[in-house]
Structure 1
Amino acid sequence: MSNLHVLKVFVGEDENGAAVGGNPLGVFLDGPEIPPSERQAVARDLGFSETVFVDDLERGELCIFTPASELPFAGHPLVGTAWLMLGEGFPLEILNPPAGEVPVRQSGGMTYISGRPEWAPPFGHLRLDLPGEVEALPGAPDGYGEVDVGVWAWEDEAAGRVRARVFVPELGVAEDEATGAHAVRLAAKLGRTLVIRQGVGSIIVAEPKPDGMVEIGGKVEIVEEREYGGKP
């Protein structure tokens, strides 16, 4: 039996201040308990958009799986895992996914990680004129049914506020609630700090840095901690 933490990452707030949105994430801090040959099946069984297996708590070494494939880098899994590890007493400043060293920090109730745009999947970017057009989409827009795409519109261009939805069929996820890797790509493309409202109300802050990295951050909540005894 392995111990599974289920989190919600990039949690936003509604007009009454109640938590809304957040992308579910599974994290195994005892990653070595699950053999590498079984991890893809475990991620598929859990069904989260991503599941993280931490192989070295002291060094922050980990791997990330969607239901369909392994990723070298992904935003919400790294933000969520950083939040969890810091809360569990591991004062790390760097996470080590396969892509490379990922800086970590916390401030004002937010957890931040930084990554290079080229580490993220090559999302298509489709800009619409109005946020309502983004919200009205019944699914991935025409022509994007088999490729990863972020659809977005300005809510307030002067303030850098964006409404977005992200569809990632190539990774086995029809629509993602909150996509940090897309936020990295979009902030790098636009060259400015963004506050992205994605899905039903998740909030991602993204800021390009002088060294070419993009920092993304948000709020994280614990959903549950339980034993996992699935048989892949």
Structure 2
Amino acid sequence: MSSYEFRQVDVFTNEPMLGNPVAVVHGADGLSDEQMASFARWTNLSETTFLLRPGDPAADYRLRIFTPSGELPFAGHPTLGSAHAWLEAGGEPKGAYVVQECGVGLVSLQRGERLAFAAPDLLRGGPVEEDVLERIAAGLRIGRAEILAAQWADNGPGWVAVMLRDAEAVLALTPDPAALGDLAVGAVGTYPEGAECAIEVRAFVGGLGVDEDPVTGSLNAGIAQWLGGDVLPVAYVSSQGTVMKRRGRVHVATDDEGRIWVGGDTLTTIQGSLTL
């Protein structure tokens, strides 16, 4: 058995216990796949991550991301939380950006008022099939006509995003996890102009072992790629986790080169060591 440095980081909040926690294990090169998967099941968080030496010389570190039911090629709040943990532990980026190596390749993060990652290219985009929309409507316990628009927004977890009438309609959802099954569904609705946040987002991911994720960077990235600059402005704040008594705030901005940056506050809530 070996001891590993450990942090649990709250992401998309500047107040403890109001964001989405991620468990981060440092120096995890000696752990097997099964040890990683077993620890992720034990933490029972939406994601648990493992920091390893990079394989790509352009990267600062390699990250593996596990849910209670399996491994993901990319996820947003684990990316921000793991970068926070790596920097807090003394990590020094090689260049202007922190560069993470993960299942979708290299992901850049910028440091400013808060950490932000560059949204990776979608693995799947485009229109959603009608039979999938019927299934989503049934799983959300709403009529099919209440889904005003939809788009595949998959950058790793398999997201399909649906737009409802407004933020109130999103907050009122009482989904049936069994009916949604293994679909990763993101619901989005707008707030009135002038509100603190532009949209309310909810993420239903029963297939990953979590019925609802509190605050979700990857989904917000996919929504920005779908709606940013059209339905949504080039810079805005997204609210998520309200129904779960969280106060997640996701800061989204598109730079002059067209890159979408998804950011949030991060803070360490637990620090210590674990033995595996």
By the TM > 0.5 criterion, same fold?
Answer: yes
Work out the CA distance in 2 between the residues paired with 1:39 and 1:141.
26
Higher fraction of strand = 1
Picking from 218, 226, 230, the partner of 2:272 is: 226
Q: What residue is the counterpart of 1:163 in the other structure? A: 200
1:38 aligns with 2:74: no
Residues 189, 199 of structure 2: 8 Å contact kept: yes
The answer for the alignment partner of 2:167 in structure 1 is: 131
Equivalent residue number for residue 98 of structure 1: 103
Q: TM-score, normalised by structure 2?
A: 0.73
DSSP 3-state at the match of 1:151: strand
Change (3 A) 1:141 1:43: closer
- 3-state DSSP class of the match of 2:273? strand
* Aligned counterpart, 2:217: 180
Distance 1:184 1:117 in 2: 10
**Shift, 1:105, TM fit:** 1.4
- Structure 1 residue aligned with 2:46, among 32, 49, 65? 49
Larger radius of gyration: 2
- 1:205 is matched with 251
Cα RMSD, aligned residues only = 2.4
* Range moving further from structure 2, 190-199 or 44-53: 190-199
| Sequence identity (%) | 27
1:177-209 deviations in Å (ceiling 9; x for gaps): 111110111000013333110013101112345
Tell me the residue number matched to 1:5: 7
Comparing 193-202 with 61-70, greater Cα deviation is found at 193-202
Q: Normalising to structure 1: TM-score of the pair?
A: 0.86
Distance 1:225 1:34 in 2: 19
Cα shift at 1:96: 0.9
**Are the aligned partners of 1:117 and 1:213 in contact in 2 as well (CA < 8 Å)?**
no
Aligned-partner Cα distance in 1 for 2:70–2:177: 23
